[in-house]
């Protein structure tokens, strides 16, 4: 008789969730309590455990499915004895097949694991990164592979452990400091700005600081003003830092690997809303993406939409909608915020003559403002319309769901801004 | 450029050139070099040749020299902005240190750091930090690296009694104790905050970090306490705090008239000068006579005069250096 695995609820209010990923496949043997899948809502992620031991007979809801109702059967487990281990050859052959899709979370984990295997001086330090497998589960499994010496659980003490990381970098180690969220990095701002970013310059080149500060940045849902904010511009303001904010899984992986190998301090801004998102997996054994190079995520001739991180997804959706109205938008994924790849932006604007800059952060002194100013200075004659900015509203993040939605840039906002640069009615 | 009188001889390390044979006369010479250097820095500041801040540590010479004697050459030192002596005691070239303080091309940071921001990683000296207390976390990171590599090094982390109140100092003590990191925190209690004598040594009590308060103007006492604490840290038994009482003869920086120090505050009687004390010790033991000590003073003055002369002759950095070394 088959046991049904049901879509679980994270809270009494939860009605639907997303099935992010299957960790087991049909035909695989599982013990009761094994994690078979991952689900998420806007608020959190959760692991789904097998309700009984046996072989997964059938997967009923595919990976990536959105709006899966609570208590929907998602898989059937047939009661069966554990089969004998398959011959080794078969196991190897299976490993050679790259997965077709990869979540940003797994991409980051792969990048960390690969770099830690490659260089014994790389270590990860942060809150709950080890035994608890990471608050956002980016470091899942790393403590098991690399042990507590290299996956270091730190007490809640951002100021000191950021400084400790910089000191370890002085001594030649390659620290990856995880902030549970960049909201807490403000406690560590002194060491990021005054110790990490400036030492190379102040020492006349004698002492470099090769360190990565990483973690989720930007808005997550329903957590209020202190836990939902985008600090991209704050870090991008500081000379001596490199600042990276990827969108896709392949870029997240390739850029994190590059960041860890970089001899400079790198701020690596992840996005809570992207962790569970699936993207085509990168091919190749050592996938590296250079820091400082933007990517044209979608080609177009009519308008350039410049975005980064979660905003790229909004820009791509807006571009699809605009295409229905025969407006071909070019979407530039900045990928790196410092140094800014102005050459790619200028090249695109030379072609389109119009630019919409998308920035989840606050409008004053933001990334979008910087792009707007630089275009005014460097491409004034190419512009056929003023640069338009689509940014977060100039307010602390409200908690109420409706207000929160109004505070953040949306696909519709981008469409309206694009039409404004084209002098079209909206 | 003529060779500096300080130039190490025949394969001798810079540190060995500074410390000599480590005997009483050599220790006297090392402390005197720091004293004369600081006095010269004070003069140059007064003449407008050193800009901004200039934090002198006249009166605190025995602390860094004693710790240098206690440490191995490969043990790391890290300190605050009051660190000219720490640099010299790590073996840095006085010419380069003074040139940096004057913002010259020949400075140890090429003129871009200034007096508070000087580093000599090749001498295991990691600065020079302008933010009060920053070196506590940074030094704990150096110790973390030592433990990570298991290379037997110990970090000696210096900060003042003012910095001891910083939150990150308490956070760092927690981390160092939790991971038993090889570090010795030296609190140079120059009494900028009155009435804390002996209390700072107990700041690690909540983390079971042993502490000892001692006379930081007695170089032998510093050396003995430092040797024990460093050996303990090297053996994997974790951090220690050494509170070293000292008299700082000048204000916080030369821009500070030190009005908060009472005129009737006891000085020489309660805390005899570390260099004078060493001088008397040498003479009493008959290790050297006045004539020899005068010769040492003349040598030291010559080194400092040479450093000042070379620093003054060093040109300012070229304008192109403005944009170099922001990133590697």
Task: Give pLDDT tens digits for B99-151.
Answer: 999 999 999 999 999 999 999 999 999 999 999 999 999 999 999 999 999 99
Identify all chain A residues contacting B136, using CB atoms and an 8 Å cutoff. Answer: 160, 163
With CB atoms and an 8 Å threshold, state whether B141 touches A167.
Answer: yes
Q: Could you tell me if A207 and A129 lie in one domain?
A: yes
Q: Give the nearest partner residue to A173 out of B112, B138, B148, using CB atoms.
A: B148
Residue A188 burial class via C-beta count within 10 angstroms: exposed 0-12, middle 13-18, buried 19 and up: buried
pLDDT classification of B204: cutoffs 50, 70, 90:
very high
Do residue A105 and residue A236 come from a single domain? yes
| Nearest residue to A161 (alpha-carbon basis) of A136, A194, A124 | A124
Position A145 in a domain? yes
Residue A86 lies in a domain: no
Specify if B14 maps to a domain. Answer: no
Instruction: Compute the nearest-CA separation of B100 from chain A (Å).
Output: 10
Model confidence at B266: pLDDT above 60: no
CA distance A157 to chain B (A): 6
| A161·B175 Cβ contact <8 A | yes
> Residue A113 domain-assigned?
yes
* Residues of chain B by 3-state class (helix, strand, coil), percent to 5: 45, 10, 45
Q: How many CB atoms lie within 10 A of CB B248?
A: 21
Domain boundary among the residues A280, A307, A335 is at: A280
Separation of first and last alpha carbons in chain B: 30
pLDDT in tens, A221-240: 999 999 999 999 999 999 99
Residue B316, domain member (yes or no): no
Judged by DSSP in three states, B187 sits in strand
Q: Are residues A127 and A271 in the same domain?
A: yes
| Residues of B (71-110) whose Cβ lies below 8 Å from A | 76, 78, 107-110
What CATH number is attached to the domain comprising A401?
3.40.50.920
Instruction: Using pLDDT thresholds of 50, 70 and 90, give the confidence band for residue B276.
Output: very high
Q: Side by side, which strands form the sheet with A35-40? A: A45-49, A35-40, A16-22, A68-69
Residues A13 and A49 in one domain: yes
Compute the distance between CA of residue A407 and CA of residue A402 in angstroms, rounded to an integer.
9
For the domain that residue A8 is a member of, what is the CATH number?
A: 2.40.50.100
Q: Which of residues 118-147 of B touch A (CB under 8 A)?
A: 118-122, 126-127, 129-131, 134, 136-146
Number of domains chain A is built from: 3
The 8 Å CB, 24+ separation contacts for B6-13 are: B6/B93, B6/B94, B6/B95, B6/B303, B6/B306, B6/B307, B13/B73, B13/B91
Average pLDDT, chain A: 92
How many angstroms away from the CA of A202 is the closest CA of chain B?
4
Print the domain residue range for A32. Answer: 2-78
B117, A172: Cβ pair inside 8 Å? Answer: no
Instruction: Indicate the Cα dihedral angle A290, A293, A296, A297, nearest 10°.
Output: 50
- The answer to the question of residue B198 being in a domain is yes
Q: Domain ends where: A255, A280, A305?
A: A280
β-pairing verdict for A388-391 and A278-280? unpaired
Give the gap in angstroms from C-alpha A214 to the nearest C-alpha of chain B: 18
Domain of B148, in residue numbers: 22-251+268-310
Residue B2 has pLDDT above 80, yes or no: no
Q: Which of A159, A227, A328, A411 is catalytic?
A: A227
- CA atoms of B324 and A305, how far apart (whole Å): 33
pLDDT of amino acid A162: 98
Whether residue A142 sits in one domain with residue A60: no
Interface probe for A, chosen from B141, B176, B322 (most Cβ of A below 10 Å), is B141
Q: Which of B144, B173, B239 would best serve as a mutation to test chain A binding (most A beta carbons within 10 A)?
A: B144
CA nearest to A204 within chain B: B109
Q: Which of A38, A110, A127, A158 is catalytic?
A: A158
Q: Is residue B90 part of a domain?
A: yes
Give the pLDDT score at A331.
98
Which site among B145, B167, B316, B320 would you substitute to test the A interface, given the most A Cβ atoms closer than 10 Å to its Cβ? B145
In a shared domain, residues A139 and A273: yes
Q: Which of A43, A78, A113 is the last residue of a domain?
A: A78
Closest CA to A330 of A309, A311, A310, A307: A307
Q: Is residue B319 part of a domain?
A: no
Are the Cβ atoms of A263 and B328 closer than 8 angstroms?
Answer: yes
Tell whether A108 and A208 lie within a shared domain.
yes
Q: Do B136 and A163 touch (CB under 8 A)?
A: yes
Contacts of A204 in chain B (CB under 8 A): 107-113, 325
Q: Is the ipTM of this complex over 0.85?
A: yes
- Pairwise CA distance, residues B184 & B140, whole Å: 9
Q: Of A41-55, B217-231, B258-272, which has the strongest mean pLDDT?
A: B217-231
| Mean pLDDT (chain B, rounded) | 92
Nearest chain A residue (CA) to B75: A171
Q: Best residue in B153, B168, B322 to probe A by mutation, most A CBs within 10 Å?
A: B168
Clarify whether residues A106 and A225 are in a common domain. Answer: yes
Q: Does A385 lie in the same domain as A245? A: no
- Residue B43 is assigned to a structural domain of this protein: yes
Mean pLDDT per 10-residue section of chain A, whose length is 426 residues: 80 82 80 84 78 81 84 82 54 54 97 98 97 94 97 98 98 98 97 98 98 97 94 98 98 98 98 96 94 98 98 98 98 98 98 98 98 98 98 97 97 98 92
How large is the average pLDDT for residues B177-206? 94
* Active-site residue flag, A271: no
pLDDT higher at B55 or B262: B55
Tell if the CB–CB gap between B328 and A200 is shorter than 8 Å: yes
- Contact list, B172 vs chain A (CB under 8 Å): 160, 163-164
Q: Based on the residue annotation, tell me whether A158 is a catalytic residue of this protein.
A: yes
pLDDT attached to residue A44: 75
Does the residue A94 lie in any domain?
Answer: no
Residue B258, both tokens:
């030190």
CB contacts, 8 Å: A240 with chain B = 326-327
Please report residues of B whose CB lies closer than 8 A to that of A160: 136-137, 140, 168, 171-172, 174-175
In a domain, A288, yes or no: no
pLDDT at B213: 97
Classify residue A399: in a domain, yes or no: yes
Q: Is B156 domain-assigned?
A: yes
Q: Tell whether B13 is covered by a domain.
A: no
Verify whether the Cβ–Cβ distance B130 to A172 is below 8 Å. Answer: no
* A205–B325 C-beta distance less than 8 A: yes
Using DSSP's 3-state secondary structure scheme, residue B29 falls into helix
Does residue A142 share a domain with residue A228? Answer: yes
Same domain, A245 and A335: no
Are A167 and B78 within 8 A, CB to CB?
A: yes
CATH number at residue B58: 3.40.50.970
Domain identity same for A320 and A344 = yes
Residue A290 lies in a domain: no
Assess if residue A83 is contained within a domain: no
């Amino acid at each position: 008789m088959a046991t049904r695995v049901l879509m679980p609820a994270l809270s009494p209010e939860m009605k639907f969730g997303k099935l992010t990923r299957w960790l087991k496949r049909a035909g695989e043997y599982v013990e009761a309590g094994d994690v078979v899948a991952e689900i998420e809502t806007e608020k959190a992620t959760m692991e789904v455990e097998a309700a009984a031991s046996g072989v997964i007979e059938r997967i009923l809801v595919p990976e990536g499915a959105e709006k899966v109702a609570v208590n929907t059967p998602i898989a059937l487990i047939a009661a069966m004895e554990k089969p004998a281990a398959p011959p080794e050859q078969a196991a190897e052959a299976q490993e050679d097949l790259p997965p077709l899709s990869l979540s940003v979370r797994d991409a980051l984990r792969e990048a960390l694991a690969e770099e830690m295997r490659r260089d014994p001086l790389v270590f990860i330090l942060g809150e709950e990164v080890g035994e608890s497998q990471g608050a956002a589960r980016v470091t899942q499994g790393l403590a098991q592979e690399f042990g507590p010496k290299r996956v270091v659980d730190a007490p809640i003490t951002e100021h000191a452990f950021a400084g400790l990381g910089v000191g370890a970098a002085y001594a030649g180690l390659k620290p990856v400091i995880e902030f549970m969220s960049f909201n807490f990095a403000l406690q560590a701002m002194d060491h990021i700005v005054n110790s990490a970013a400036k030492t190379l310059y102040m020492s006349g080149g004698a002492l470099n600081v090769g360190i990565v500060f990483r973690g989720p940045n930007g808005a997550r849902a329903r957590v209020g003003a202190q836990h939902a904010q985008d600090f991209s511009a704050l870090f991008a303001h500081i000379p001596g830092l490199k600042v990276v904010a990827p969108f896709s899984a392949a870029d997240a992986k390739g850029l994190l690997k590059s960041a860890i190998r970089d001899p400079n301090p790198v701020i690596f801004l992840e996005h809570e809303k992207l962790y569970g998102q699936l993207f085509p997996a990168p091919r190749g054994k050592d996938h590296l993406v250079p820091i400082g190079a933007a990517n044209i995520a979608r080609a177009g001739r009519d308008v350039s939409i410049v975005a980064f991180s979660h905003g790229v997804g909004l820009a791509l959706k807006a571009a699809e909608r605009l295409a229905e109205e025969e407006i071909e938008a070019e979407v530039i994924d900045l990928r790196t915020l410092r140094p800014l790849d102005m050459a790619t932006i200028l090249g695109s604007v030379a072609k389109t003559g119009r630019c919409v800059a998308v920035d989840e952060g606050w409008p004053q002194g933001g990334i979008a403002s910087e792009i707007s100013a630089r275009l005014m200075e460097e491409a004034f004659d190419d512009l056929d319309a003023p640069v338009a900015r689509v940014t977060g509203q100039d307010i602390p993040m409200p908690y109420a769901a409706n207000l929160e939605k109004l505070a953040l840039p949306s696909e519709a906002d981008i469409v309206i801004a694009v039409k404004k640069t084209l002098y079209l009615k909206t | 450029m003529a060779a500096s009188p300080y130039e190490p001889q025949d394969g001798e390390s810079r540190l060995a050139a500074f410390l000599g044979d480590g005997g009483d006369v050599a220790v006297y010479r090392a402390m005197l070099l720091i004293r004369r250097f600081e006095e010269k820095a004070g003069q140059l500041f007064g003449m407008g040749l050193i800009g901004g801040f200039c934090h002198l540590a006249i009166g605190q010479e025995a602390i860094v020299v004693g710790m240098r004697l206690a440490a191995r050459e490969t043990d790391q030192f890290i300190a605050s902005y009051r660190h000219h002596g720490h640099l010299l005691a790590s073996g840095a070239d006085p010419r380069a240190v003074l040139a940096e303080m004057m913002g010259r091309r020949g400075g140890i940071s090429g003129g871009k750091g200034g007096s508070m921001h000087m580093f000599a990683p090749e001498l295991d000296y990691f600065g020079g930090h302008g933010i009060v207390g920053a070196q506590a976390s940074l030094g704990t990171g150096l110790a973390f690296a030592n433990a990570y590599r298991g290379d037997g090094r110990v970090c000696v982390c210096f900060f003042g009694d003012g910095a001891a109140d910083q939150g990150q100092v308490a956070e760092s003590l927690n981390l160092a104790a939790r991971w038993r990191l090889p570090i010795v925190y030296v609190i140079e209690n120059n009494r900028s905050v009155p009435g804390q004598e002996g209390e700072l040594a107990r700041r690690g009590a909540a983390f079971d970090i042993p502490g000892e308060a001692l006379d930081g103007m007695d170089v032998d006492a510093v050396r003995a306490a430092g040797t024990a604490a460093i050996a303990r840290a090297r053996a994997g038994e974790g951090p220690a705090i050494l509170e070293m009482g000292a008299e700082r003869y000048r204000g916080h920086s030369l821009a500070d008239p030190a009005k908060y120090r009472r005129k009737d505050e006891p000085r020489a009687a309660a805390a005899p000068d570390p260099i004078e004390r060493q001088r008397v010790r040498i003479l009493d033991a008959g290790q050297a006579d006045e004539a020899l000590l005068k010769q040492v003073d003349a040598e030291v003055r010559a080194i400092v005069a040479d450093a000042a002369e070379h620093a003054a002759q060093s040109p300012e950095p070229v304008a192109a250096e403005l944009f170099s070394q922001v990133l590697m």
